[in-house]
Amino acid sequence: MDHFLYRDGALFAEDVAIADIAQAVGTPFYVYSTATLERHYRLFEEALEGMDHLICFAMKAASNTAVMRTLALLGAGADVVSIGEYLKAKAAGVPGDRIVFSGVGKTREEMRVALEGGIRQFNVESEPELRALSEVASAMGTKAPVTIRVNPDVDAKTHEKIATGKKENKFGIPITRARAVYAEAAALPGIEVVGIDVHIGSQLTDLTPFAEAYRKVADLTAELRADGHDIRRLDLGGGLGIPYERSNSAPPLPIEYGAVIRDTLGHLGCEVEIEPGRLIAGNAGLLVSRVIYVKSGEERDFLILDAAMNDLVRPSMYGAHHDIVPVDEPAPGDLPHPYDVVGPVCETGDTFAKQRHLPVMQADDLVAFRSAGAYGAVMASEYNTRPLIPEVLVKGDQFAVIRARPTYDEMIKRDNIPVWL
């Protein structure tokens, strides 16, 4: 459930009319609902109630400082994958001891900054990374808290570009080699092993792969404890999917996911961390765009929007579906018309949807892409020298621009002309 509903014939974000935001900030823009972010965060809190746990929001899904701060105020931690995200989490008010650092390619400089600023743990993904981290921490006269990400070789049954838990993927160390790597970790002077990490993929719509992976983690916990390691923390990654198409059956709920965690790992007495991104932010955000032209082609009609693939890349990158709705509520008798919904970028791939049924639209009408709060703004680029679009946060009847649209002057000034030109 989200807080983007029609009211008196117009789409609202909580108590603010989308058309009013469009008037104030111009289109296209992203808008997030505080109540929806909070609701989704609390669903995970409820799901893990009674277990010692921490919910670390995967900032890669939506890294705006104001979004992170909204969640931090509820007690959320952060899962970061770069020092940029780490510094933003800190700026949002997340204390270092609630930040976990994931990713296959952490640099020594990133390790140093995180150790200096405070970190809950590094989720280490390889032996070379483990050795580098030990060296960096030792040189600083400290020990780095570490979980090692294991690759359980489980098929997450999701899009191949976002599946991470199969042995052919670049992530983690093979679970079959875990005991040897933990033995090495225990012998390194700058490493303090605190637990195990696993993440098998994103947009999972079936709980079976989670259960399979978590059962393997439970077995590994027992083995590593028998080897003398202090496994007190399990980081279970993110990945729970969201409904992108309202007409389709809904994926499992956080409460059901929580039950899988309890069933597979509850007996171990470990502290549990999860790293959800999409489920918290995805349906808490819209991309709002204006129709520039309605163009009648020979075979089909095109809705040409002012948003493009550089603003929301998921449809062209993954063939992803986003529901598109008119901001003016369709009247009951309106007959839907099929449109190819496209952006102005000079590529055929700049297509959001083909033959999508919408009410008959006209130039200047507003549309909203649903489920755009996760992996939307964060994946945007300035391709075609189109400025990154603003982000807006709504809370009740208030809204604020949480990232402004750059001016063309600012964009031009970022380039430098060398002396010889």
Binding residues for pyridoxal 5'-phosphate: 239, 275-278, 375
Q: Is 98 in the site for ligand LLP (CB under 6 A)?
A: no
Q: Is 88 in the site for ligand LLP (CB under 6 A)?
A: no
Find residue 174's DSSP bridge partners. Answer: 151
Residue of 226, 346, 417, 421 marked active site: 346
CB 277 to ligand LLP: min, Å: 3
Q: Give 20 or 256: the residue with its C-beta nearer to ligand LLP.
A: 256
Binder among 88, 98, 106, 199 for ligand LLP (CB under 6 A):
199
Find residue 324's DSSP bridge partners. Answer: 369
Interface of this chain with ligand LLP, residues 203 to 222, rule: CB under 6 A: 203
Q: Give 12 or 244: the residue with its C-beta nearer to ligand LLP.
A: 244
Instruction: Write down the residue that tokens 């799901």 correspond to.
Output: 47
Q: Where are the beta strands (DSSP E) in 259-342?
A: 271-274, 285-296, 301-305, 324-326, 337-342
- Is residue 346 part of the annotated active site? The answer reads yes
Q: What are the start-end ranges of the H helices in 269-342?
A: 278-281, 314-318
Nearest to residue 402, comparing CAs of 37, 66, 78, 60? 66
Q: Give 275 or 350: the residue with its C-beta nearer to ligand LLP.
A: 275
- Residue 6 CA to residue 155 CA, distance in Å, equals 39
Interface map 152-171 toward ligand LLP (x if CB under 6 A): ----------x---------
CB 226 to ligand LLP: min, Å: 27
- Complete edge-to-edge strand list for the sheet that includes strand 4-7: 4-7, 10-13, 16-17
- Residue 367 CA to residue 335 CA, distance in Å, equals 17
Residue 106 CB partners (closer than 8 Å, separation 6+): 122, 129, 133
Q: Is 61 in the site for ligand LLP (CB under 6 A)?
A: yes
Binding segment for ligand LLP among 29-37, 233-241, 245-253, 263-271 (CB under 6 A)?
233-241
Q: Is 285 in the site for ligand LLP (CB under 6 A)?
A: no
**Cα four-point dihedral sign 119, 123, 127, 129:** negative
Q: Give 336 or 349: the residue with its C-beta nearer to ligand LLP.
A: 349
Q: Give 190 or 254: the residue with its C-beta nearer to ligand LLP.
A: 254
Q: How many residues bind ligand LLP (CB under 6 A)?
A: 21
Q: Where are the beta strands (DSSP E) in 64-216?
A: 77-80, 99-101, 121-124, 144-151, 173-174, 191-197
Q: Give 203 or 289: the residue with its C-beta nearer to ligand LLP.
A: 203
Classify each residue of 18-56 as buried b or exposed e, where b means 16 or more C-beta atoms within 10 Å of its C-beta. Answer: beebbeebebbbbbbbbbbbbbbbebbeebbeeeebbbb
Binder among 2, 275, 306, 350 for ligand LLP (CB under 6 A):
275
Instruction: Write down the residue that tokens 């032996």 correspond to.
Output: 127
Instruction: Write down the residue that tokens 């981290």 correspond to.
Output: 133
**Cα four-point dihedral sign 60, 64, 67, 71:** positive
CB 138 to ligand LLP: min, Å: 26
Q: Is 272 in the site for ligand LLP (CB under 6 A)?
A: no
Q: Is 277 in the site for ligand LLP (CB under 6 A)?
A: yes
Cβ–Cβ under 8 Å, residues 28 and 288:
yes
Query: How far, CA to CA in Å, does 167 sit from each of 124, 153, 155, 236?
Result: 16, 5, 9, 17
Q: Give 238 or 326: the residue with its C-beta nearer to ligand LLP.
A: 238
Residue nearest to ligand LLP (CB): 238
Q: Is 311 in the site for ligand LLP (CB under 6 A)?
A: no
Binder among 36, 65, 102, 121 for ligand LLP (CB under 6 A):
102
- Residue 10 CA to residue 4 CA, distance in Å, equals 10
CB 392 to ligand LLP: min, Å: 21
Binder among 314, 322, 370, 386 for ligand LLP (CB under 6 A):
314
Q: Is 278 in the site for ligand LLP (CB under 6 A)?
A: yes
Binding segment for ligand LLP among 27-35, 177-185, 197-205, 387-395 (CB under 6 A)?
197-205
Find residue 399's DSSP bridge partners. Answer: 394
User: Which positions are annotated as active-site residues?
Assistant: 346
Instruction: Please report, as ranges, the residues that interact with ligand LLP according to CB under 6 A.
Output: 58, 60-61, 79, 102, 162, 199, 202-203, 237-239, 275-279, 314, 318, 374-375
